Amino acid sequence: ILDMVIDEMKNELIAGRDVKISTFGSILLKRKKARIGRKPKTGVEAEITPRTVISFRPSQTLKTAVNKGSKKAAK
């Protein structure tokens, strides 16, 4: 079942749609524009091409549950 859910999420992301899971969070596609960066070793300027990145935003329910759990573990 988990493989089916992951495959469906992957298909939605490939299609360019965000994935929202109630009480868990959202997997978002962010489109980055082209920009000028620097190569770390040489310091030479280089163009960074436009790209799409994936980010995760946890729901308030998940954040609250994690914070309550971490407070219990600290005691």
Torsion angle defined by CA atoms of residues 43, 34, 58 and 9, in that order, rounded to the nearest 10 degrees: -120
**Domain harbouring 20, CATH code:** 4.10.520.10
Alpha helix ranges (H) inside the chain: 2-14, 60-74
| pLDDT tens figures, 9-38 | 999 999 999 999 999 999 999 999 999 999
Note the pLDDT of residue 20.
97
Residue 70 included in any domain: no
The whole domain housing 14 covers 2-61
Closest by CA position to 63, among listed 28, 26, 9: 26
- Does residue 6 sit within a domain? yes
pLDDT digits (tens, 9 = 90+) for 50-59: 999 999 999 9
Number of domains in the chain: 1
Residue 36 lies in a domain: yes
Answer yes or no: is 67 within a domain: no
Look at the pTM and tell me if it is higher than 0.85.
no
| Dihedral over alpha carbons 45, 50, 52, 54 (to 10 degrees) | 20
Q: Is 22 inside a domain boundary?
A: yes
pLDDT of residue 75: 56
